[in-house]
């Protein structure tokens, strides 16, 4: 009996399956439609952001007027009508009442059913700083989000009861802006940076001001002025400045934590020191300062022979000090108990231009420049030989003595057969005196007919400054003697004797003629 029932049930199941299969074959398939969807652009923003909404696959609702909701509020009062092609577009503005966070934008039928939906994120109000601490004047970038789209965002700094406006910028369509500023003057500690839009929406961030010190100059010599400036200190207080255990200055601190102090470097040994700045809270901050050796000179420009007076401070106490001019030692002195010295020397013979005076005690070295004058000496006036004169072979030359600051002055004499001096036949350099006589070896040959000799001279001072040449002077050399001196004397004597004899004969003849006339 049970077997019969089982077979009957199997037969019934097989028939039902066969009917189902036949029905599936002969029944046409129904079309499958894509579900409606919407796209938001942008998909995030703030109150006031304009959102473009696009719908697709709404063919089942062609011609219908659909509703646009933000959460549970209608944001497109007229609704939207689905056009042919199953798509539509519309825009709406995020209302002012919206709160930060995620919100649902939905398309609903007039019956209230939700057909499609998407999320829109509303940024919270915030200001993010690129740094959370820094010294006055440090650069900061502030990124602002969540402000009213298109409105001006003003960034303020709270240092005192009255905030300072740092910078303003208009927010973008999604309520963002980025501004840059330098940390304003303020006391040490935490300060508020606040960004506010025109609707009064605001966000705050904290910025810590760290004390900062500056010194000018960082290296100075004894007696020099030094300025110290500070920012970010306790307001309406005082600070003390201490150098190497000695209080050298104090200054009041403004209500915004800034101060300026001045001191003059006292007599002390050269080296690097830490200056202590102590505030009203007994906190000490340090800044490095270098006391340098210092030189002073009575004059930085002069002539050869100028008396240089040089002094210095900051050297080794009792140290042996060498004073060099270029590479030559000029003098040796000893520093006193304060590390000071003074020395005097004459500028040696050296070319015009810059030279280095070096002072060293073996530990410290300092240099100062000295410039030798570069003025050329005057042009000498020529005396002998004169223009177109006739002179002997070993002639004497004479010219004006030239005065110059860089003494002594020397001269160069040139003799040439041509007026252009292209090929001088004689050149005498470094003549110490303003005259010269040719030696026997330098004797000039007699001038030929219609030819001349020419001479000129110039002065050169001890700084190697060369003056211009004098005007050239033409002269001739007479023929030289052919007889020795004794022969010339003999001939002169014979001539004199013959003159006497001839004279006596003339006198005797005159007397004879007179006697004959008388008779």
Q: What is the pLDDT of residues 300-332, one digit of tens each?
A: 999 999 999 999 999 999 999 999 999 999 999
Return the structure tokens found at 58: 């709404």
Rounded CA separation 348/330 (Å)? 9
* pLDDT top residue among 321 and 503: 321
Q: With a cut of 50, say whether residue 26 has pLDDT above it.
A: no
What pLDDT, on a 0 to 100 scale, did the predictor assign at position 14?
Answer: 52
For CA atoms 197, 199, 203, 209, the dihedral sign is positive
How many other C-beta atoms lie within 10 A of the C-beta of residue 237? Answer: 16
Average pLDDT over residues 102-114: 92
Task: Report the percentage of the chain scoring pLDDT > 90.
Answer: 75
Residue 18 pLDDT > 90: no
Predicted pLDDT at 138: 95
CATH architecture of 294-372: Sandwich (2.60)
pLDDT tens digits for 370-382? 999 999 999 999 9
pLDDT of 435 higher than 60 = yes
Q: What is the mean pLDDT of residues 484-496?
A: 69
> What is the dotted CATH code of the domain comprising 126-209?
2.60.40.1930
CA 515 – CA 519 distance, rounded (Å): 6
Mean pLDDT of the region 343-371: 96
Query: What mean pLDDT comes out for the span 368-394?
Result: 96
Burial 253-263 (b: 16+ CB within 10 A, else e): bbebbbbebeb
Q: Which token pair is 324?
A: 């060099």
pLDDT at residue 86, as a whole number: 77
Domains 212-292 and 382-477 share a fold: yes
Lowest mean pLDDT among 54-63, 187-196, 435-444, 451-460: 54-63
Cβ–Cβ under 8 Å, residues 142 and 128: yes
Choosing among 3.40.50.80, 2.60.40.1930, 1.10.3720.10, 3.30.70.100, the CATH entry for 212-292 is 2.60.40.1930
Q: What is the pLDDT of residue 503?
A: 75
pLDDT of residue 276: 97
Q: What mean pLDDT is predicted for residues 227-239?
A: 95
pLDDT of residue 28 exceeding 50, the answer is no
More confident position, 10 or 74: 74
Out of 45-54, 350-359, 460-469, which region has the weakest mean confidence (pLDDT)? 45-54
Query: Using 50, 70 and 90 to split pLDDT, how confident is the model at 493?
Result: confident
Here the tokens at position 94 are 């995020």
Q: Is residue 517 over pLDDT 90?
A: no
Residue ranges covered by each domain of the chain: 37-122, 126-209, 212-292, 294-372, 382-477
Q: Tell me the C-alpha to C-alpha distance, in Å, between residue 194 and each of 143, 176, 205, 348.
A: 12, 15, 6, 71
User: Looking at residues 137-162, what average pLDDT do you find?
Assistant: 90
Whether the pLDDT of residue 462 is over 90: the answer is yes
pLDDT higher than threshold 80 for residue 387: yes
Residue 13 pLDDT > 60: no
Q: How far apart are CA 335 and CA 146, in angstroms?
A: 72
The 10s digit of each residue's pLDDT in 266-295 is 988 899 999 999 998 899 999 999 999 999
CATH 3.50.50.60, domain 37-122, yes or no: no
In CATH, the number for domain 382-477 is 2.60.40.10
Beta strands 284-292; 271-278: pairing state: antiparallel
- The whole-number average pLDDT for the span 391-416 is 96
Residue 504 has what pLDDT? Answer: 79
Mean pLDDT is lowest, of 3-12, 224-233, 463-472, for 3-12
The 3-state secondary structure of 460-482 reads ECCCCCECCCCCCEEEEECCCCC
Band of the pLDDT at 17, cuts 50, 70, 90? Answer: very low
């Amino acid at each position: 009996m049970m077997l019969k029932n089982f077979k009957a049930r199997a037969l019934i199941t097989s028939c039902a399956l066969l009917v189902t299969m036949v029905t599936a074959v002969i029944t046409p398939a129904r079309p499958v439609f894509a579900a409606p969807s919407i796209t938001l652009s942008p998909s995030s923003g703030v109150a006031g952001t304009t959102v473009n909404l696009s719908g697709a696959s709404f063919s089942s609702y062609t011609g219908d007027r659909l509703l646009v909701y933000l959460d549970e509020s209608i944001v497109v009062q007229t609704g939207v009508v689905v056009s042919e092609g199953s798509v539509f577009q519309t825009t709406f503005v995020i209302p002012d009442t919206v709160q930060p966070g995620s919100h649902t934008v939905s398309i609903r039928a007039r019956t209230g059913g939700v057909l499609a939906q998407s999320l829109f994120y509303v940024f919270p109000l915030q200001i993010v700083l690129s740094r959370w601490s820094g010294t006055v004047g440090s650069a900061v970038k502030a990124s602002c989000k969540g402000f009213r789209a298109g409105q001006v965002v003003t960034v303020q700094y709270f240092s005192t009861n009255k905030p300072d406006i740092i910078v303003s910028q208009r927010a973008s369509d999604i309520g963002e802006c980025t501004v840059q500023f330098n940390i304003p003057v303020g006391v040490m500690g935490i300060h508020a940076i606040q960004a506010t839009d025109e609707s009064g929406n605001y966000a705050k961030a904290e910025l810590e001001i760290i004390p900062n010190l500056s010194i000018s100059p960082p290296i100075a010599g004894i007696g020099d002025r030094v300025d110290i400036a500070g920012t970010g200190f306790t307001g309406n207080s005082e600070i003390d400045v201490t150098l190497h255990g000695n209080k050298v200055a104090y200054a009041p601190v403004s209500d915004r934590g800034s101060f300026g102090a001045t001191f003059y470097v006292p007599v002390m040994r050269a080296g690097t020191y830490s200056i202590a700045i102590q505030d009203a809270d007994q906190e000490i901050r340090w800044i490095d300062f270098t006391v340098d050796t210092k030189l002073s000179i009575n004059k930085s420009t002069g002539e050869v022979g100028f008396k240089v007076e040089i002094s210095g401070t900051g050297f080794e106490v009792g140290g042996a000090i060498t004073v060099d001019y270029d590479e030559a030692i000029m003098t040796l002195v000893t520093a006193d108990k304060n590390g000071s010295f003074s020395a005097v020397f004459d500028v040696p013979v050296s070319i015009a231009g810059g030279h280095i005076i070096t002072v060293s005690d073996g530990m410290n070295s300092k240099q100062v420049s000295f410039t030798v004058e570069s003025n050329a000496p005057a042009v000498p006036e020529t005396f002998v030989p004169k223009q177109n004169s006739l002179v002997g072979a070993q002639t004497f030359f004479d010219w004006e003595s030239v005065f110059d600051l860089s003494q002594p002055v020397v001269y160069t004499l040139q003799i040439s057969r041509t007026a252009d001096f292209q090929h001088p036949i004689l050149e005498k350099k470094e003549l110490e005196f303003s005259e010269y006589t040719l030696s026997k070896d330098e004797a000039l040959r007699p001038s030929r007919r219609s030819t001349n000799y020419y001479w000129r001279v110039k002065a050169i001072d001890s700084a190697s400054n060369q003056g211009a040449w004098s005007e050239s002077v033409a002269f001739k050399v007479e023929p030289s003697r052919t007889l020795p001196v004794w022969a010339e004397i003999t001939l002169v004597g014979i001539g004199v004797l013959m003159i006497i004899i001839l004279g006596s004969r003339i006198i005797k003849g005159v007397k004879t003629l007179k006697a004959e006339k008388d008779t």
